[in-house]
Amino acid sequence: MSDGIAIETDRLILREWREEDLEPFAQMSMDPRVMEFFPSVQGKQTCRDTIAWISESIAAVGFAYWSVEVKGGPPFIGLIGLSQPSFEASFTPCVEVGWRLAYEHWGKGYAMEGALASLTFGFETIGLDEIFAFCVHNNMPSRAVMERLGMTRDKASDFNHPKLDPASPLCPHVVYRIAKPG
């Protein structure tokens, strides 16, 4: 697609990041409700570094967590897309689907809509056979999205996140997976 657009759904545009995304991304990443299952809120410089890393990934492999906007609405509501985890676990290397939305956009079905489109992109455009998702064990909202996407819990692959303190309540993660349809 043109203009850095990767995916369009009925209501959303998943696209490459723009300079003007930094401010709302930083605001979202400083919201403790949004960052409840992260080790801490993230400041502007961390967000700037994240955008640079995402942009490099899109340039290198053609996908990452895209910036999400609502058609005819807010130009930035969060990020949704595919990523390659940078740590070792029993299920890596792999591609995962993930999302993070600004709090005021929760409960509108945007995570589900964008993640479903990302799965379709992964299977049909990239040619993946399987896509994973994982989150902190008690992140029930994300787990609910994974289950609504048709993903299956893979208890044998549950893990303690290697980038987190083993004593942290955020360390235990659950793993879900979905195979290419057909």
- Alpha-helical regions (H) of the chain: 22-29, 44-61, 110-120, 140-148
From residue 3, give the alpha-carbon distance in Å to each of 14, 15, 64, 146, 174.
11, 8, 16, 30, 36
The mean predicted confidence, pLDDT, of the chain is: 96
User: Tell me: the pLDDT tens digits for 100-142?
Assistant: 999 999 999 999 999 999 999 999 999 999 999 999 999 999 9
pLDDT band for position 78 (50/70/90)? Answer: very high
Q: Is the pLDDT of residue 87 over 90?
A: yes
Give the closest residue to 69 by CA, choosing from 132, 18, 125, 139: 18
Task: Kindly state the tokens that stand for 41.
Answer: 């809120």
Q: What is the pTM of this model?
A: 0.95
| DSSP letter, residue 90 | T
User: Tell me: the pLDDT tens digits for 21-62?
Assistant: 999 999 999 999 999 999 999 999 999 999 999 999 999 999
pLDDT band for position 1 (50/70/90)? Answer: very low
- Find all residues with CB under 8 Å of 26, minimum gap 6, and list them: 42, 43, 44, 47
Res 145: pLDDT: 97
Res 3: pLDDT: 64
pLDDT band for position 6 (50/70/90)? Answer: confident
Res 169: pLDDT: 96
Number of structural domains in the chain? 1
| DSSP letter, residue 56 | H
CATH number of the domain where residue 22 is located: 3.40.630.30
Give the closest residue to 112 by CA, choosing from 126, 130, 99: 99
Res 36: pLDDT: 97
Q: What is the mean pLDDT of residues 150-171?
A: 97
Res 2: pLDDT: 41
Res 45: pLDDT: 97
Q: Is the pLDDT of residue 179 over 70?
A: yes
Are the C-beta atoms of residues 67 and 15 closer than 8 Å to each other? yes
Q: Which domain holds residue 29?
A: 5-179
